[in-house]
Chains A and B, each alone.
Chain A
Amino acid sequence: MHAICARSLVMRYKYGAQLALNDFNLDVQQGEFFGLLGPNGAGKTTAISILTGLFPSDSGAALIMDMDFQKKSNKIKQIIGLVPQNIGLYDKLTARENLTFFGKICGIRGKVLAEKIQQCLEFSRLTEHAIQPVATFSTGMKRRLNLAVGLLNDPQILVLDEPCVGIDAQSRHLIHEQLKILNQHGTTILYTTHYMEEAQELCSRIGIIDNGQLVKEGIPATLLQQSGMSNLEELFLHLTGKGLRDQ
């Protein structure tokens, strides 16, 4: 069974004829750590938004664990965890209050919620800062908590949109290590990033998206071997070009 399956997704920008996704196809197997790479405006966030049910595509199908968003949106949302690129936390609430609110919104209650919150705080190494308002956190702490909130509902599929932007090496290292552990425990991960070395380190498979289409996918080592390139960045620039993406 595919954990994530996108079939011929087409998405047009609201104004203009340009396509955000143009016949986008993707298969992510259960338990995979899949990296979705692409330049700015390539369609990564649009693809993730459709695959997490934020909005429907103009055409095509997005299936999660063989379930269609059109039919089983609520059930799918219960098994997916999304870690948005912009930090999705209330600044004026403490780490614990944020976790409590999002946990309750996920439908978790009582003792289970208390245990889950404790796990998330330990996971993000924020136990000592649990009663501090998020506004007082460093970017690294916010990113770690942002990730922890995405894990509250024990998701089978975790979708991360550039979760390590703007953080120090220590926080990035912790996030990487924790994601590896989650993946080893069976969580399917769809990960978008601009950092090629990050993708090479973490992902069992990668896909490169450009102009709304998946232009290449496979195991990083195999792709490098096939292309004769020495690293992913070289391959990435070869596939997507060196022209600036200022649109």
Chain B
Amino acid sequence: MLKIIAATAKELLLLMRDRTGLLVLFLMPAILVVVITLVQENVMELTGQKKTQVLLLDLDQGELGRSLQKQIETTNLEFVVWDEVQKDGGAIQTAVANGDYQVGIVIPQGASLRFQEETARLFQPGNGKRDSREIPDALSATSLQFFVDPGVMAGLRSSVTAQLQMALTTIALEAKLAMFGRVLQEITGPGVSQQDPLFNSSKLPSLFRQPLLALTENQDKSRETETSLYNPVQQNVPAWALFGMFFTAIPIAGSILQERGSGIWVRLSALPVSPLVLFAGKIAAYIGVCLCQFLLIALIGAFLFPYIGLPAFTISMNLTATLITALFSSLAACGFGIFLGMACNSYEQASTLGATSVVAAAAIGGVMVPVYAMPPVMQRLSIISPLNWGLTAFHDLLLRGYSLSAILDDLGRLFLFFIVTALLSWKLAGVRQ
């Protein structure tokens, strides 16, 4: 045990003497988590997970515009209203075409009046007889101009179009129902209509808005904590902390290769100490580095992100389980680093192989793009990535609100990966002598 402590102290001293290297280890994931989260915050907007801004130019300034804005309040859209005095339809088209806004809508002058006239025409009395009405052959729709940036993803285009169409359909339906109520009033007479809300033209639309069929989302009752909603912060903080932790594999490999390249490894091999003791010293020191990396990224997420317009990172009630996951991920990362140091013959080999394998494991593990968004082949492949095991465990804790017992399989995989890489390194240590 004392030899492990000596080896750990030596590793920590070496790390502290290499301040530039240490700074890179902490700065790299810190910069990545900030940049990628800011970028993904915008992607979430595009994928409908955040309100999409729609540019509105209301040249009509009538009831239709007000109704539309009211309807939009309940959707995932948000209007940015342009002043009609300064702008026209051409300006909105240019703004959308230039990509300043992804979607734009123009309510033409007189649209409210035309819409009211068309609605009234639906129930127009015929031939002067009070109870005789003509159903018109066709109604003329009041058209609103709609612009979409050609560069917008198809999913966003469909989502925005559907939500706007739904809002317009609701407005039209409510207008028709209001008109229908008035007609019923005329037909049945004031005596009946005053008593029955069905014949009340002002109450009828709200009555028809009441849903008779509903979709209710069920929550898993087994979860210990309140579920945190998905956002890029909850995804990226653990993801890029994991990436940084696995990147420490390169300096670990570098330290081993430096010892192997000089007379240090030969000297240590001739001393009464097992390579496992020396590995344990390195692992202990670098686990400290990995946990500090995780804490730094978590603190950035919790305290810096709100200042730059991002949601704050929350660990909620699963702090212990989260730290245990970080510890097991660190073990796996250190095991990989030691294996890399023993398997490679030069620092160039180790840094190239290490960087490539960590980036590839991060990509297939869901660090850069969530696994569910990958093609089926890549989704199947993701289960071989240790970063995926760590990330799945973090997501289960931080996004799905599961307890420690629910992530034991992922922790087991990470630990097994560490054991296998450590044993292979020990075997290689014998071969390298």
Contacts and interface: CB of A to CB of B under 8 A. Distances in A.
A53 B270 contact: yes
Interface in A84-99: 84-90, 92-93, 97
A82 B267 contact: yes
Interface string A63-107: 000000000001001101010111111101100010011101111
Nearest to A100: B6
B270 A54 contact: yes
A208 interface: no
B270 A89 contact: no
Contact of B2 (A87, A104, A149): A104
A212 to B, nearest CB: 19
Decide if the interface of chain B is mainly helix, strand, loop or mixed.
helix
B364 to A, nearest CB: 35
Nearest to B17: A92
B6 A87 contact: no
B287 to A, nearest CB: 19
A85 B266 CA distance: 9
A52 B263 CA distance: 14
A35 B18 CA distance: 40
Contacts of A80: 270
Contact of B271 (A93, A97, A102): A102
A87 B259 CA distance: 10
A109 interface: yes
A146 B6 CA distance: 19
Interface residues on A, range: 20 to 34
A89 B7 CA distance: 14
B3 interface: yes
B273 interface: yes
A31 interface: no
A86 B266 contact: yes
B269 interface: yes
Contacts of B261: 86
Contact of B14 (A49, A89, A90, A107): A90
Interface string A153-165: 1000000000000
B14 A93 contact: yes
A13 interface: no
A205 B169 CA distance: 106
A39 interface: no
B211 interface: no
B272 A97 contact: no
30 contacts: A49-B433, A53-B269, A53-B270, A54-B270, A77-B271, A80-B270, A82-B266, A86-B261, A86-B262, A86-B266, A87-B262, A88-B263, A88-B265, A88-B266, A89-B262, A89-B264, A92-B13, A92-B17, A92-B18, A93-B10, A93-B13, A97-B10, A101-B7, A102-B267, A105-B3, A105-B268, A106-B271, A107-B3, A149-B267, A150-B267
Pairs A-B, 3 closest by C-beta atoms: A88-B263, A84-B263, A104-B6
Given A88-B268, A101-B7, A153-B271, 16 more contacts: A53-B269, A54-B266, A78-B272, A82-B266, A87-B263, A88-B263, A88-B265, A88-B267, A89-B264, A92-B18, A93-B17, A97-B13, A102-B267, A105-B7, A105-B271, A149-B267
Interface of B: 2-3, 6-7, 9-10, 13-14, 17-18, 261-273, 430, 433
Interface of A: 49, 52-55, 74, 77-78, 80, 82, 84-90, 92-93, 97, 100-102, 104-107, 109, 133, 146, 149-150, 153
